[in-house]
């Protein structure tokens, strides 16, 4: 019974933390729009039909059934995009649709200047950054929060793995992978996943300071989808999560930003994009990672939320229709050209990218579910073999992923 309560409590905390990241983003849009005198149709906590709603000062405040995040409806920024999400003709009572307004009674909403639309669009990601800064400072002042980066010194080579016999020796320090410098174990993890199961060059510094280069082909674990070469790092005195690099808040935020920038760079690099796309985690893996951290160490979970906020801010500012960066792109075009982009073009590109994002979301959910199922099956087989033998079998790919012990295997 206690276990069920603990699990339910952890799930509730995960929903609360993730919703906070989305809520603060939408609240940034809301505040900016109100300050600039733009029209706000609705501000909702959650999605779908309304449980409760009340109109105050021309804004409909709602609490909706799907209590996961929220949204703000801004007709001058996205004239038609929020109508389906709002459930505009649903009165929330389950008794049917609201009556349509009489013909000719619809309110005409004036256009907002391009600079105002840019400010409102940027305010959402800025809200995420504000929350991330708050969390970074909070984590810095809490004395028992664990910090520290694991370096790239090789502490152990797993027998039977690709690193064995490759020229990598215990005590070597990995300096770069495929000419990409690595300074921490997480950066090493990232570069090996980007390299995939193709031959990669590892530049190493030996104990005596000499440098050497070796080539190793990482092995892909079919259960988890992760690639590994079979090395372990040197365990530090205090074990901390990868996203808790230093107590200095600026170092925390810099690490968050550089991590997502490296992945985005790989996604637009032809030689790396395909392998990186296959290794991306979606909403289920993110939620699972946050759940694990909530159960293990709440302060690590807040650090993970900080990392997610910076990710959301950067991703939303990409110049892609349907994202905040897309709104900025269209507004900047209007400022430079002194004419509005074609409404048909804006609607068409927004619809196309909206469909692509939905397809990507569905694919990521399927991919996450498949990985978790395969990993659980592999873990069950591993435990069965361990129980049937005196010595546990090698499980080289079962460690070293994001969220595992810093001294984990790679």
Q: Which of 28-42, 148-162, 357-371, 374-388 has the lowest mean pLDDT?
A: 374-388
Name the pLDDT band for 140 (thresholds 50, 70, 90). Answer: very high
Span 94-119, average pLDDT: 64
Please report where in the chains the tokens 């501000």 appear, as a residue: 43
Q: Which residue has the higher pLDDT, 235 or 306?
A: 306
Span 254-260, average pLDDT: 93
Which segments of 84-223 are extended strands (E)?
A: 154-157, 173-177, 180-181, 200-205, 211-216, 219-220
Name the pLDDT band for 85 (thresholds 50, 70, 90). Answer: very low
Q: Which residue has the higher pLDDT, 288 or 69?
A: 288
Span 48-71, average pLDDT: 83
Look at residue 381 and tell me whether its pLDDT is greater than 80: no
Q: What is the pLDDT of residues 105-115, one digit of tens each?
A: 456 667 889 99
| Residue 55: strand pairing partners | 60
| DSSP assignment string, 218-254 | -EE-TTT--EE--EEEPPPSS---TT---SSHHHHHH
Under CATH, to which class is 151-234+343-410 assigned?
mainly beta
User: What DSSP designation does 110 have?
Assistant: P
| Residue 228: strand pairing partners | 219
Cα gap 136→134, rounded to integer Å: 6
10 Å CB burial of residue 102 (0-12, 13-18, 19+) is: exposed
Whether the Cβ atoms of residue 257 and residue 247 lie closer than 8 Å to each other: no
Look at residue 100 and tell me whether its pLDDT is greater than 80: no
Phi-psi group of 258: left, alpha or beta (phi > 0 → left; psi -120 to 50 → alpha; rest → beta): alpha
Whether the Cβ atoms of residue 43 and residue 26 lie closer than 8 Å to each other: yes
Cα gap 291→370, rounded to integer Å: 18
| Residue 211: strand pairing partners | 205
**Domain segments of the chain as ranges:** 1-38+112-146+244-341, 151-234+343-410
**Six token digits for residue 208:** 């005596």
Whether the Cβ atoms of residue 175 and residue 152 lie closer than 8 Å to each other: yes
Q: What is the pLDDT of residues 3-50, one digit of tens each?
A: 888 888 899 899 889 889 988 999 999 999 999 999 898 998 877 788
Whether the Cβ atoms of residue 31 and residue 120 lie closer than 8 Å to each other: no
Please report where in the chains the tokens 């925390």 appear, as a residue: 252
| DSSP assignment string, 10-41 | HHHHHHHHHHHHHHHHHHHHHHHHHHTT----
- pTM surpassing 0.85? no
Name the pLDDT band for 77 (thresholds 50, 70, 90). Answer: confident
Span 60-76, average pLDDT: 81
Percent of the chain with pLDDT over 70: 85
Q: Which residue has the higher pLDDT, 405 or 376?
A: 376
């Amino acid at each position: 019974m206690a276990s069920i309560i603990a699990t339910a409590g952890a799930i509730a905390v995960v929903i609360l933390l993730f919703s906070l990241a989305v809520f603060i983003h939408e609240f940034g849009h809301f505040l900016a729009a109100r300050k600039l005198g733009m029209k706000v149709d609705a501000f909702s906590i959650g999605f779908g039909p309304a449980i409760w709603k009340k109109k105050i000062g021309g804004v409909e405040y709602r609490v909706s059934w799907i209590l996961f995040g929220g949204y703000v409806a801004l007709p001058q920024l996205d004239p038609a995009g929020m109508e389906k999400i709002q459930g505009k003709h649903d009165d929330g009572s389950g008794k049917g649709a609201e009556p349509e307004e009489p013909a000719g009674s619809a309110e005409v909403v004036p256009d907002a200047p391009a600079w105002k639309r840019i400010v409102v669009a940027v305010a959402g990601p800025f809200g995420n950054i504000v929350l991330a800064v708050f969390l970074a400072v909070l984590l810095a002042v809490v004395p028992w929060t664990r910090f520290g980066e694991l370096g790239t010194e090789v502490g152990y080579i797993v027998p039977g793995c690709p690193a064995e016999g490759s020229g990598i020796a215990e005590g070597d320090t990995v300096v770069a992978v495929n000419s990409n410098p690595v300074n921490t174990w997480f950066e090493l993890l990232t570069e090996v996943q980007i390299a995939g199961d193709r031959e990669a060059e590892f530049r190493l510094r030996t104990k005596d300071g000499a440098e050497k280069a070796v080539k190793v082909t990482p092995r892909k674990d079919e259960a988890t989808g992760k690639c590994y070469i079979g090395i372990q790092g040197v365990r530090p005195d205090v074990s901390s999560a990868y996203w808790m690099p230093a107590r200095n808040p600026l170092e925390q935020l810099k690490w968050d930003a550089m991590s997502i920038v490296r992945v985005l760079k790989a996604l637009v690099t032809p030689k790396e994009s395909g392998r990186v796309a296959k290794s991306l985690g979606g909403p289920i893996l993110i939620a699972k990672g946050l759940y694990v951290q909530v159960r293990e160490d709440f302060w690590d979970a807040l650090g993970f939320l900080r990392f997610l906020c910076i990710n959301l801010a950067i991703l939303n500012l990409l110049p892609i229709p349907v994202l905040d960066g897309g709104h900025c792109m269209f507004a900047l075009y209007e400022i430079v050209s002194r004419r509005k982009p074609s409404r048909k073009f804006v609607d068409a590109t927004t619809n196309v990218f909206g469909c692509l994002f939905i397809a990507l979301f569905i694919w990521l959910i399927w991919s996450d579910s498949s990985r978790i199922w395969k990993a659980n099956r592999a873990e069950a087989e591993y435990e069965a073999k361990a129980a049937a033998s005196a010595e546990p079998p090698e499980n080289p790919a079962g460690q070293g992923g994001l969220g595992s012990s810093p001294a984990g295997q790679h």
